[in-house]
Amino acid sequence: MSDREFGNGRVRLSRDGGLAHVLLNRPEKRNALDQWMFEGLLEAARCIEEDRSVRAVVLSGAGGAFCSGLDFSTFGAMADGGLDAESDDVAAAAADLSPDGANRAQQIAWRWQEIPAPVIAAVEGAALGGGFHIALGADVRFVAPDAKIGFVEITWGLVPDLSGTQALRRLVPLDVAKKLILTGDVVSGREAVALGLGTELAEQPLEAALELARRIARNSPDAVRAAKRLLNASALVPLAEGLGNEFRASASLMGKPNQIEAVVSRLQKREPDFADPEG
């Protein structure tokens, strides 16, 4: 998979070995989400999901902002009656479901959870509304201390509806989630990490994200993907089922070529040479 552009150039996908970098590329609008951006994110996610050579993914925004949310001109169309929640297009989007049940709009954020490879977001500047949903869709978030983060949908008479409420419940207590959503408060990156919305503070989030992605990419892709699946399911299943999943995941890796290569390369004190995962 070579470097590519999607969504009329709104999204750029570049590769460095097993590392894929997805760049939201609309800096003049602080990477606000319009229809092209939606389509570009979906296309990039599908491309990565189909490429088994991808070991880790970084999400970032161009121009010092992650994503400022929905393009405000969309709201102008709504006020003018240009958007109809019962239109055929909206019905088709609602019926286009991902494996976990995310509709087409929700997939711009939730698809990063479904991608087998781990996804790391580098959050700086604004990550508001839909942009915050996308950041929450990542497995790990490096956040600049002065970033501006929040669900702002309530201030537009709406509720968060791009999958963020489902990601949020795995990260923070229910009362914290309600306070954020019901007020539309915007918090700093430092506050976000203290609340559990971000993984770590970083003065240079992109550099931190790329470094972690490279570290992850040096591990067996079979084990990394199995661990992501196992952890994603852990919050959703009963304890006994989770323990069984853990045992089966470990058993499925033992004695396989990549697991043997992990052991041999450590004993020989050399860099491992892993094969791409089979599934």
Average pLDDT over residues 55-73: 95
Question: What percent of the chain is modeled with pLDDT above 70?
Answer: 92
As given in the structure block, the two tokens for residue 255 are: 């004695």
Strands (E), 84-211: 119-123, 126-128, 140-143, 148-150, 187-188, 200-201
Task: Supply the pLDDT for residue 85.
Answer: 53
Q: DSSP letters along 53-90, please?
A: T--EEEEEEGGG-SB--B-HHHHHHHHTT---TTSHHH
pLDDT over 60 (residue 226): yes
Q: Do residues 45 and 112 make contact, with C-beta atoms less than 8 angstroms apart?
A: yes
Task: Supply the pLDDT for residue 169.
Answer: 87
CA angle 71, 35, 102 (to 5 degrees): 100
As given in the structure block, the two tokens for residue 275 are: 């094969």
pLDDT over 90 (residue 42): yes
For the entire predicted model, the pTM comes to: 0.92
Average of per-residue pLDDT values in the chain: 93
**For 64, how many CA atoms within 13 A lie in the half-sphere containing its CB?**
2
Class of domain 221-267: mainly alpha
Phi and psi at 163, nearest 5°, equal 95, -10
Residue ranges in 107-187 assigned as alpha helix (H): 107-114, 130-137, 164-168, 174-183
Q: pLDDT tens, 69-78? A: 999 776 555 4
Task: Supply the pLDDT for residue 73.
Answer: 76
All structural domains of the chain with their residue ranges: 4-217, 221-267
Question: Which CATH number does 4-217 carry?
Answer: 3.90.226.10
As given in the structure block, the two tokens for residue 168 are: 């949020």
| Domain 4-217 matches domain 221-267 at the CATH topology level | no
DSSP bridge pairs for 128: 150
pLDDT over 70 (residue 50): yes
